[in-house]
Chain A
Amino acid sequence: ETGVTQTPRHLVMGMTNKKSLKCEQHLGHNAMYWYKQSAKKPLELMFVYNFKEQTENNSVPSRFSPECPNSSHLFLHLHTLQPEDSALYLCASSLRQAAGEKLFFGSGTQLSVL
């Protein structure tokens, strides 16, 4: 295991639902990331937090709302999603937000929006 745990593993939701994705890292890292993975597309960065402060928001629609209460936990709150938001959502962490740092990824949440 990578030390990054994501729950739930699978989520099916309607367009009017509200749900949250959770990520927890046990590595003592200070930077955490949300990525969206769609088939045959580059990994798409969504948000970055460094020491609990959001440092990147990659023009993500407001129906995705991140929360980072501490350096070990990261949430992605979802509401009024669209079918095209169906994808694998990956959480990652790194020791620092620095160019040479490698990322540690969780196994992801497979999201289906009906």
Chain B
Amino acid sequence: AQSVAQPEDQVNVAEGNPLTVKCTYSVSGNPYLFWYVQYPNRGLQFLLKYITGDNLVKGSYGFEAEFNKSQTSFHLKKPSALVSDSALYFCAVRDPGGSYIPTFGRGTSLIVHP
């Protein structure tokens, strides 16, 4: 079975500071990992994914995520937060050897203060 955990309901950061949104996963094989963002009154939008290769993945809007196999983590990061980054962020995992359907976390609300 595949699962993903987002341990923080909310992350607060000041504009201009670095941000991290945490995600840990559990799969039986090598994971496919995704980050999505949801702005108010909108659906989820794809940010980035890790399939294989370099552990540091770069995505849209200056976001990046680091795959850490030993810690089973895939934390989302950005060097300098913007107020417009305030949104709900979802981590998702797929086990390529199992279901094709991604399992999503419960989301983390990121609030960037001016």
Contact = CB atoms under 8 A, between A and B. Distances in A.
A106 interface: yes
Contacts of B103: 42
Contact of B101 (A4, A56, A105, A108): A56
B32 A104 contact: no
Interface string B46-70: 1001010000000000000000000
Contacts, number: 56
Given A4-B43, A104-B46, A43 B9 contact: no
A17 interface: no
Interface in B84-105: 90, 94-96, 100-105
B43 A106 contact: yes
Given A42-B105, A42-B106, A102-B49, A97 B100 contact: yes
Contact of B43 (A45, A90, A99): A90
A4 B49 CA distance: 20
B41 interface: yes
B34 interface: yes
A43 B100 contact: no
A20 B68 CA distance: 43
B45 interface: yes
B14 interface: no
Contact of B104 (A42, A56, A100, A108): A42
Nearest to B5: A42
B103 to A, nearest CB: 7
B50 to A, nearest CB: 10
Contacts of A92: 43-44
Contact of A100 (B36, B51, B105, B106): B51
Interface of B: 4, 9, 32, 34, 36, 41-46, 49, 51, 90, 94-96, 100-107
Interface of A: 2, 4, 6, 33, 40-43, 45, 48, 56, 90, 92, 97-100, 102-108
11 contacts: A2-B45, A33-B101, A42-B4, A42-B106, A42-B107, A92-B43, A102-B34, A102-B49, A104-B46, A106-B43, A107-B41
